[in-house]
């Protein structure tokens, strides 16, 4: 029996999920049947299992626990129709599905013949329903002679009441059906098929099967993408630059290049003036303090853990100038500190390195310019509900202030304030991007091209330049769906 859940609270509220297997595992990693990237969801959070027509839910030792009808689960509990299961910020409603063989739910009403009357009730029957009394001859009387039937009776066949075929259909009924079928092209095809012999039907069916399979094979060869049956093809990327590297690295089902322990890249830091190197990438399947960034052997920090918008989130890291070797080869590594001995899944992809020149100004001028950027960013953030692009402009101005302060050897107190405000605005902007992408996916699912096009146009208004990944993502989707 299938397991059916409806999302009643969360980013995809209203979506219905159906699982055909007897057990559904819920968690944050890709090894689960139902993967939730929301904050507060553990790697192996909970499971729903079906046994002998009954359903049970159990918490798998998660950090925040699993709730059933607003009460924390202490052990395995049976589910009933309408029960609410809460996993992190997501709430599901369990929908009981009756089994296909449930006689109580699908039993038709049969009209059975009435039972024969008991012997004692024979005298109560009406006269017309009394059984006929056959006269009995005495036991000592001789049997009556048997008269031979007349010759005409031996040769005369039994006349049927109506012309009935073996399947119970009369000739008149068959004629009426032929007249009805002859009125349409499909009916004429049915009549033609019925007139064929068994051997002719077999030959015709084989020919039609060959034609259909050949046509499907030709369409598949032309339109289906070429699959890499033998695994990754071509050399593995080992260098970073301004062009995005779309390949994924790490460990898990969706990883193209498996590197359980670490993945290293080389890059050139060539600039005639003072510049800041910014690493852009995406990451998923990562928990707190699991994957560290290492530049030229020096630990730079940790990769941010997963959030609810992991799929659309782009991460940025400043590579300090003091750690870089100008006009020389530099190394950058993603190091999973838990593998080995662990075997945790993790993934990074869409990597690129941006070299941004910073103004050649004095420390006082750099600080004054950063304050100008910060003031403009705060003004745009206050009016984010007035103009569609104001939130993006606030993010952009905070980013300019951040990069300007990175040019200072000694960071002032404003630096931490700018980093905090930039993080807050970035989270808002990523959430808005996720909402718009969800609107687009919903419109595509319901085949509403007008709403899908409107969602992408809204992305272009709120993300007018390619500085944020959401802008390029909208262009890719518009090209992919021909909108």
- Within a domain: 229: no
Name the more confident of 177 and 108.
Answer: 177
- In terms of domains, do 350 and 389 share one? no
- In terms of domains, do 258 and 291 share one? yes
- Of 84-93, 312-321, 435-444, where does mean pLDDT reach its minimum? 312-321
pLDDT of 152 reads 44
Task: Say which CATH number the domain at 271 has.
Answer: 2.60.120.260
pLDDT of 408 reads 85
pLDDT of 151 reads 47
pLDDT of 64 reads 87
380-422 confidence digits (pLDDT tens) = 999 988 888 999 999 999 999 988 888 888 889 999 999 899 9
pLDDT band at residue 165 under the 50/70/90 scheme: very low
Domain stop point among 95, 117, 140: 95
- Within a domain: 467: yes
Q: What is the domain range of residue 85?
A: 3-95
pLDDT of 160 reads 43
Q: CA dihedral in degrees (380, 383, 386, 392; nearest 10)?
A: 30
- Within a domain: 468: yes
- Within a domain: 225: no
- In terms of domains, do 276 and 387 share one? no
pLDDT exceeding 90 applies to what percent of the chain? 34
pLDDT of 106 reads 40
- In terms of domains, do 391 and 425 share one? yes
pLDDT band at residue 233 under the 50/70/90 scheme: low
Domain stop point among 95, 110, 130: 95
pLDDT of 168 reads 54
pLDDT of 472 reads 84
Task: Say which CATH number the domain at 13 has.
Answer: 2.60.200.20
- Within a domain: 42: yes
- Within a domain: 242: yes
Average pLDDT over residues 156-166: 43
Q: How far apart are CA 326 and CA 243, in angstroms?
A: 20
pLDDT band at residue 16 under the 50/70/90 scheme: confident
Nearest to 91 by CA among 71, 63, 68: 68
Check pLDDT > 80 for residue 220. no
Average pLDDT over residues 194-210: 83
pLDDT of 251 reads 94
Average pLDDT over residues 3-20: 86
- In terms of domains, do 396 and 476 share one? yes
- In terms of domains, do 451 and 341 share one? no
- In terms of domains, do 443 and 343 share one? no
Q: What's the structural domain count of the chain?
A: 3
Highest mean pLDDT among 98-112, 282-296, 309-323, 354-368: 282-296
A 10 A CB-CB count for 336 gives 22
- Within a domain: 209: no
Domain stop point among 322, 357, 392: 357
Check pLDDT > 50 for residue 128. no
- Within a domain: 254: yes
- In terms of domains, do 269 and 314 share one? yes
pLDDT of 476 reads 87
pLDDT band at residue 112 under the 50/70/90 scheme: very low
pLDDT band at residue 222 under the 50/70/90 scheme: low
- In terms of domains, do 290 and 379 share one? no
- In terms of domains, do 399 and 345 share one? no
- In terms of domains, do 326 and 445 share one? no
- In terms of domains, do 286 and 382 share one? no
């Amino acid at each position: 029996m299938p397991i059916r859940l409806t999302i009643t609270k969360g980013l995809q509220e209203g979506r219905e999920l159906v699982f055909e297997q007897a057990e559904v595992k819920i968690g944050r990693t890709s090894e689960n049947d139902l993967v939730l990237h929301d904050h507060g969801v553990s790697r192996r959070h909970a499971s729903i299992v079906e046994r002998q027509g009954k359903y049970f839910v159990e918490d798998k030792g998660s950090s925040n626990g699993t709730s059933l009808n607003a009460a924390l689960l202490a052990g395995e509990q049976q589910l009933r129709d309408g029960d609410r299961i809460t996993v992190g910020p997501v709430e599901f409603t369990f929908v009981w599905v009756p089994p296909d063989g449930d006689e109580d739910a699908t039993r038709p009403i049969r009209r059975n013949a009435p039972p024969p009357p008991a012997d004692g009730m024979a005298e109560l029957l009406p006269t017309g329903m009394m059984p006929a009394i056959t006269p009995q001859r005495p036991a000592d009387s001789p049997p009556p002679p048997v008269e031979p039937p007349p010759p005409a009776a031996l040769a005369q066949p039994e006349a049927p009441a109506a012309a009935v075929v073996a399947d119970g259909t009369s000739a008149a009924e068959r004629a009426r059906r032929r007249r009805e079928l002859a009125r349409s092209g499909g009916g004429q095809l049915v009549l033609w098929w019925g007139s064929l012999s068994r051997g002719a039907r077999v030959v015709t069916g084989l020919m039609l099967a060959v034609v259909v399979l050949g046509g499907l094979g030709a369409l598949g060869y032309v339109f289906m993408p070429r699959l890499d049956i033998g695994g990754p093809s071509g050399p593995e990327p080992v260098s970073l630059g301004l062009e995005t590297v779309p390949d994924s690295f790490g460990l898990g089902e969706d990883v193209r290049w498996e590197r359980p322990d670490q993945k290293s890249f080389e890059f050139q830091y060539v600039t005639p003036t003072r510049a800041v190197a910014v690493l852009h990438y995406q990451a998923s399947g990562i928990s707190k303090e699991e994957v560290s960034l290492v530049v030229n052997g020096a630990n730079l920090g940790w990769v941010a853990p997963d959030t609810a918008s992991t799929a659309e989130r782009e991460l940025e890291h400043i590579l300090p100038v003091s750690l870089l070797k100008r006009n020389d080869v530099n190394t950058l590594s993603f190091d999973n500190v838990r593998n080995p001995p662990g075997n945790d899944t993790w993934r990074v992809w869409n990597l690129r390195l941006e070299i941004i020149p910073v103004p050649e100004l004095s420390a006082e001028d750099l600080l004054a310019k950063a304050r100008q950027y910060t003031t403009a960013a705060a003004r745009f953030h206050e009016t984010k509900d007035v103009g569609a692009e104001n939130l993006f402009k606030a993010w952009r101005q905070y980013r300019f202030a951040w990069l300007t302060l990175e040019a200072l050897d000694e960071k002032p107190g404003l630096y931490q304030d700018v980093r905090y405000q930039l993080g807050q605005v970035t989270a808002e902007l990523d959430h808005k991007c996720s909402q718009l992408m969800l609107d687009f996916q919903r419109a595509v699912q319901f085949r509403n091209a007008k709403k899908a096009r409107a969602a992408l146009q809204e992305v272009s208004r709120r993300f007018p330049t390619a500085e944020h990944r959401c802008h390029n993502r909208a262009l890719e989707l518009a090209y992919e769906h021909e909108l």
